Structure 1
């Protein structure tokens, strides 16, 4: 029973962090100054069709938004699974297997978005994110990994994965 309580707590921590980190307020229109993933300077006054950079920026925004959606959706799924695990009184091994499968699926989905990224820095960031999620899927204690490492991933993406 303590394992399902731990799963619930980890899921709650994860969802709370995600709610704050993944939701764009619409106010951050640029990456922080000096950020390694700051987009090339593009002014909105330039004509669009003759410039090569706006499609990359548009692609970056789409990729980043999709990664956010994937992480939020999978976090909700993990939360729902944890509630079901408590009702079913699953063993710690069953819970770990379920979380590992969810994380492996998420890593594959995020890796698919990395393949779509036109900006090499965004591609690298999203690929690294998939690798971190893979590490969680391979972790001996994926529930603990969720509450310690996973919660930092959306925060980093919020800071660095922007057009």
Structure 2
């Protein structure tokens, strides 16, 4: 398999995995075990008073956690689409594997910077660490000798981890 074909295949695998992991229609919790929406009746609204608001958000409910997590998802999806488009263009232009690797390294370095920016904005210390660690992981891909291989092995695991751990 040529370098251009390999990058294209890796990009397609990456895009499929990322889009599946990052996108949620919000109905995940309403699905029955078989995957169809539950027909169980919903509980009646509670008549208990809501707890009084606190002066500072707790780590679990930090004000901007949902925004930071959603932005990181969007950044990863957007950059994945860009990498996929670049792979198609690389095939058309018949770039060498070295040129393709350089392009992927640049894309990953840019993504790591953008993700690191979101980590700096996070108010929740756990989310700040999770997103910061994600940026470090993407940096490792940008510094990898084989970033295309890294895309299809390591990068595709990032959205699932964020989806599981980056929550309000």
Shorter-chain TM band: 0.7 to 0.9
Inter-partner Cα distance in structure 2 for 1:47 and 1:86: 59
| Whole-angstrom CA distance in 1 between matches of 2:80 and 2:52 | 40
TM-score (norm 2): 0.82
Counterpart of 1:9 in structure 2 is 9
1:125 aligns with 2:102: no
| Separation (CA, whole Å) in 2 of partners of 1:52 and 1:26 | 28
Root-mean-square deviation over aligned CA pairs: 1.9
Aligned twin of 2:46: none
Deviation, structure 1 residue 54: 7.2
- What CA distance in whole angstroms lies between the structure 1 residues aligned with 2:123 and 2:27? 24
SS at match of 1:162: coil
Q: Higher relative contact order by CA 8 Å / sep ≥ 6: 1 or 2? A: 1
Q: In the comparison of the two structures, how many residue pairs are matched?
A: 148
Indicate the residue corresponding to 1:110 in structure 2.
115
User: What is the 5 A alignment of 1:84-99?
Assistant: 84-99=89-104
Gaps (5+ residues) in structure 2?
Answer: 30-48
Query: Residue 40 of structure 1 corresponds to which residue in structure 2?
Result: none
- Specify the structure having the higher radius of gyration (Cα): 2
TM, length-normalised to structure 1: 0.85
Question: What is aligned with 2:41?
Answer: none
Aligned pairs (5 A) from 1:61-80: 61-80=66-85
CA distance in 2, matches of 1:28, 1:126: 23
What runs of 5+ residues in structure 1 fail to find an aligned partner? 30-43
Deviation at 1:24, TM superposition (A): 2.1
Q: Structure 1 residue 52 and structure 2 residue 87: aligned? A: no
